[in-house]
Amino acid sequence: MIYTLTPNPAVDRELTVPAMEFDSALRATESRIDFGGKGFNVSRLLKGMDASSVAVGFLAGNAGELLQKGLQSLGIGTDFVWVAGETRTNVSIVTQLHDHYIKVNEKGPLVDAVKQRELLDKIDSLAKRGEWWVLAGSMPPGVADDFYARVVKVLNKHEAHAILDTTGEALRLGCVEKPYLVKPNAEEVHALTGLPVNNTAEISAAAAELRRIGAQNVVVSMGKDGALLHTAAETWLTHSPKIQEKNPIGAGDSMVGGLVWALSQGISLKEALGWGVASGAATASLSGTEVGARPLIEELFKHVRFEKFETV
């Protein structure tokens, strides 16, 4: 089984307007609602690969009910801890030409220590040896940066595999607990380590620093340039297939989805990253908030190129 943990999900509401005007009442020509959250995006990609997953995290109020029903309508399993208040709603206003936008993100509901303990206990009861957990996104109010580290510790106790996709202090503290893999992008690695990331050698050195902190394996996503994998034994560059990019938003989450899907199938880490890169490219080639599905991902995987990088 694959589980995706999203501590601070959101209802994403997008309104399209003819043009951006301030101090004026605008009329939306289109509107849409999406189920926002990095872990949810991973679950959606897994569904496109005909794989099951269970979405875990905190939900609250009417917005939380909307998210749960929406995920279930997609055939995604859910097992949430319910908290007081209201799951956040993030609002985007975009122009029809997509040349301007405004986005406002709410903070999310306050999650107290009792509810945090409840979620940790739930994870403790669900975790089984050899299963895969994706821990993704930011923390809601009241939840400290060490929460993912606490989750990784629980998963390691059960010999389950943790894939961590977060930033900043939450990433650093998570690395200390030795997750199976972490997946920052180059800018996030730079922000955490202070090391330059201007070329492959520098990115590899920065990834090595995350392994020194404790992460067992590091994948650094590099957008349309693919990704770098750094392990104890070797470093690989995985070059993305050429696509006509339409919307790169969510491509990083799809990369994680393709990666964890392949790992759950017993595919080697290097080849699994190829599936991840193909999945990210598939999503980036689609319009709106669509995610890649298996036929397209399988076709793009044929064009993924691997290059072994020799560290000095």
Domains, the chain, in order of start with CATH, read 38-85+110-308 (3.40.1190.20)
* Burial of 145 per CB tally in 10 Å (0-12, 13-18, 19+): middle
- Please choose, from the candidates 300, 214, 215, 210, the residue with its C-alpha nearest in 3D space to the C-alpha of residue 255: 300
* Burial of 309 per CB tally in 10 Å (0-12, 13-18, 19+): middle
Render each residue's pLDDT in the chain as its tens digit; 312 residues: 999 999 999 998 989 999 999 999 999 999 988 888 999 999 999 999 999 999 999 999 999 999 999 999 999 999 999 999 999 999 989 898 878 889 899 999 999 999 999 999 999 999 999 999 999 999 999 999 999 999 999 999 999 999 999 999 999 999 999 999 999 999 999 999 999 999 999 999 999 999 999 999 999 999 888 999 999 999 999 999 999 888 787 889 999 999 999 999 999 999 999 999 999 999 999 877 789 999 999 999 999 999 998 765
How far apart, in whole angstroms, are the C-alpha atoms of residue 204 and residue 195?
10
How far apart, in whole angstroms, are the C-alpha atoms of residue 58 and residue 64?
8
Catalytic-labelled residue, pool 12, 34, 165, 253: 253
Question: Known catalytic residue: 124?
Answer: no
How far apart, in whole angstroms, are the C-alpha atoms of residue 71 and residue 52?
12
273-287: per-residue pLDDT in tens?
999 999 999 999 987
Residue 116 near residue 100, CB atoms below 8 Å: no
